[in-house]
Structure 1
Amino acid sequence: MIEPKVAVERLRTAFGGPDRHRTLHAKGRFYAGTFTATAEAAELGRALHLNGEPVPVVVRWSNAGGNADVPDKKPDIRGMAVKFQLPDGSSTDLLGQTSPRFPTDDPAEFVAMTEASLNQLTFPLFLLRHPRMAGPIIAGLTSKAAVSHHSFAEPAYYPIHAYGWLDAEGRRTWVRYVFKPTATKADRLSQSFDGPDRLGAEMAARLARGPVTFEVWLQVAGEGHDPHSAVSDWKGAREVLAGRIVVMAELPDQDPLVFDPTRVVDGIELSDDPILRYRPLAYGESIGRRT
């Protein structure tokens, strides 16, 4: 497995981003909101933020690239990271992206893919050498995961990893999340936003009009659905509405706040997904460089 120091160094070199920025998702803004779970979520999971009472969340919307100076108009995958702040003072994080599937279970292949994707001339050659990754990448292109998005409020975001939810009796259910927007093209603002930070400006204007809401849906694993692989395609999975995230206001910069998908609380278990297990190692290397 690729050493985290090597992975971070290669990614930072590929993007040429400034020091003291995140290695990936370097450009983003923080927002305050709440999450309220549904009764169906409370039946599946005993974690404190699933009891139906509103809990505070910190949301960070971001561009996926590693250079914060790149303007928002450039096509890119977007990210939505959410930190759920539980009543007992603990927190748990989910990190979503606009791409619905992840292309590999190998961190080294992910680094190589990211490097190759920055050169449109050579990227097809990379896919020829890694045919297993073509399906998820094509799925992302088909779903317009990496486009010049109009707003952070309109696309769906996919936390790619599965988690084990434990109910009050200790029974485990493997789930994946989807953050589905309630915003549509029909309710867009009348003004246009064309500057290098247009997504942030659009969100500021949108929040001045009112809250931004996302529904949190669960895909519930069934037969043949592998919770220990980010590549596993859960076709036909049962879907459950687990709650709603309501974002109300922008926050001042919260750096070096870290969103870690392995930060879980009682009632939620990690899978053995190798990408999931690798991420905190890479984040630890990255945060050391940022601070």
Structure 2
Amino acid sequence: MEKQMSNRKVYSRRNFLISASRIAAIGFVAPVVASATAAAVAKSVRQSSEKQTEATAQEVMDALEDAYGSHPGQRKNHTKGVGALGTFVGNPKVKEISRSPLFSGEQFDVVARFSIAGGDPMVSDADKSPRGLALEFRLPDGSLHHMTMLSTPMFFAAVPQTFLDKFIALAIDPATGKPDMAKFKQFEASHPDNALQAQFLQENNPPPSYANCAYYSIHAFKFINDAGKTTIVKFRFVPQDGEKHLSNAQLSSMPPNFLEQALIERTRLSPINWDMIVTISEPGDPETNSTLLWSGKHRELNAGTLTLTSAMPSNLAGSYNINYDPLIMADGIAPTDDPVLLFRSPSYAISHTRRIRDL
């Protein structure tokens, strides 16, 4: 009976999100995005900031479990994933803006994890949600550097309260076994910082392979050079295999678990490479709001090459036991004051603790 209820929740949630995204596509996202200017988002941020003490890491993890259920031994978010191993070689030219050893020109081992956003371990690989890439760089002195990225160039929450509110809105109603559509529509209408990512996901279908996806830092970071000068940057990893998207017809016909096998088979052919591209900020670029894009022309640097040579199921990968806290950073790179970036560390810690506790 418990298994049947669990399957019912997964099925109901998937149908709900599909319905919600279709409503957004035809009647909600477009008008909201048109009005979701920086001023509107800023107003939402100010209003949410007044309640920010309510958005604790504990509450966010509880809300994720209310929305997706508890899955012992698995991550609370980006639950479904696959591990990979490889290396990174940084470009020494980046030393002009960062003294990080990542850009020494040496080769470092990397433990990677690809994933699909959300806490549903049975989510379809064709789901119109962000893909994630988490990296752990292992430096020669034993120190670590983490990066956690998404396949969307923006996030859906400017402040932690939006993150919490979204998963509260997605909570399963015990009476129906599915979320309340009206509550989710209320969330969308009251949180314009969510609109840009929602529109991006509607306009850009998922990739046929993790190897055909670009991954974005989302947040801005501080790069610090030997002279102590700070440069604000964002970065992305661009696939040398090329970015590709499934057609609508392909989306409807793909098997539910194609991404893992596609990545494993691709690494058996040859190593997979991504170029790390660093974008240097210009005056006026938002530094602490990950829902807003930087517009206009920017200087960019090719900062290095990520190479993945093998992939394996999550339970066999070294990534399984890694808590990819994005605030674990090597010298020469530091966080900005982005409230969502700073909120990730305690959230990841609680998720990791619960996962290990439930094993």
The TM-score with structure 1 as length reference comes to 0.89
Cα distance change of structure 1 residues 289 and 199 upon mapping to structure 2, 3 Å threshold = same
Residues 10 and 223 from structure 1, CA distance in 2 versus in 1: closer, same or farther, beyond 3 angstroms?
Answer: same
Match of 1:196 in 2: 256
Distance 2:277 2:168 in 1: 32
Structure 1 residues 231 and 28 mapped into 2: Cα distance closer, same or farther (>3 Å)?
A: same
Deviates more, 1:120-129 or 1:67-76: 120-129
Match of 2:56 in 1: 3
> 2:325 matched to which residue of 1?
260
User: How many residue pairs align between the two structures?
Assistant: 283
Q: 1:248 pairs with 309, 318, 324, which one? A: 309
CA deviations on 1:202-248 (whole Å, 9 max, x unpaired) are 11111111011111111111100132232342112322211110100
Deviation of 1:17 after TM superposition, in Å, equals 4.5
**Aligned in 2, Cα 1:172/1:257: closer, same or farther, shift over 3 Å?**
same
Q: Which runs of 5+ in 1 are unaligned?
A: none
Corresponding residue of 1:207: 267
In 2, are the aligned partners of 1:100 and 1:140 still within 8 Å (CA)? no
Q: 1:275 to 1:12 in 2, by over 3 A?
A: same
The alpha-carbon deviation at position 264 of structure 1 amounts to 0.9
SS class of match (1:222) = coil
1:87 paired residue among 140, 163, 169: 140
**What residue number does 2:335 align with?**
270
* Structure 2 counterpart of 1:231, one-letter code: T
Structure having the higher strand fraction is: 1
Contact residue 81 and residue 259 of structure 1 kept, 8 A: yes
Alignment of 1:180 with 2:238, yes or no, is yes
> How big is each residue's C-alpha offset from its partner over 1:33-74, in whole Å with a ceiling of 9 and x where there is no partner?
111112332322111111111111111011112121223233
Instruction: Select the structure of larger CA radius of gyration.
Output: 2
- The SS at the match of 1:213 is strand
Secondary structure (helix, strand or coil) at the match of 2:262 reads helix
Q: Percent identity?
A: 28
Assess if the C-alpha contact under 8 Å between 1:105 and 1:230 holds in 2: yes
**Given the superposition, is the C-alpha separation of residues 50 and 28 from structure 1 closer, same or farther in structure 2, using an over 3 Å criterion?**
same
Q: Which has the higher helix share?
A: 2
Aligned counterparts, 1:16-35, within 5 A: 16-35=69-88
Cα displacement string for residues 233-266 of structure 1 (whole angstroms, at most 9, x for unaligned residues) = 2112322211110100125323221111111111
Tell whether the 8 Å contact from 2:83 to 2:114 is kept in structure 1 after alignment.
yes
Which residue identity is paired with 1:169?
A
Provide the residue aligned with 2:26 in structure 1.
none
After superposition, residues 1-291 of structure 1 pair within 5 angstroms as 1=53, 2-116=55-169, 121-122=181-182, 123-142=184-203, 144=204, 147-184=205-242, 194-236=254-296, 237-251=298-312, 252-254=316-318, 255-291=320-356
Offset of 1:27 from its aligned partner? 1.1
**Quick one: distance in 1 between partners of 2:167 and 2:279?**
27
Gap change, CA 1:141 and 1:41, over 3 Å in 2: farther
Q: Distance in 2 between matches of 1:51 and 1:71?
A: 40
SS in 2 for 1:8: helix
Counterparts of 1:71 and 1:182, CA distance in 2:
26
Aligned to 1:21, the other structure's residue is in SS state coil
Counterpart residue identity of residue 354, structure 2 = R
Shift of 1:120: 9.3
Alpha-carbon shift at residue 155 of structure 1 (Å): 1.5
- Using the alignment, how far apart are the partners of 1:66 and 1:103 within structure 2? 16
- What amino acid sits opposite 1:200 in the alignment? E
For 1:253, give the aligned amino acid: A
Aligned CA distance change for structure 1 residues 73 and 141 (closer, same or farther; 3 Å): closer
User: TM-score, normalising length from structure 2?
Assistant: 0.73
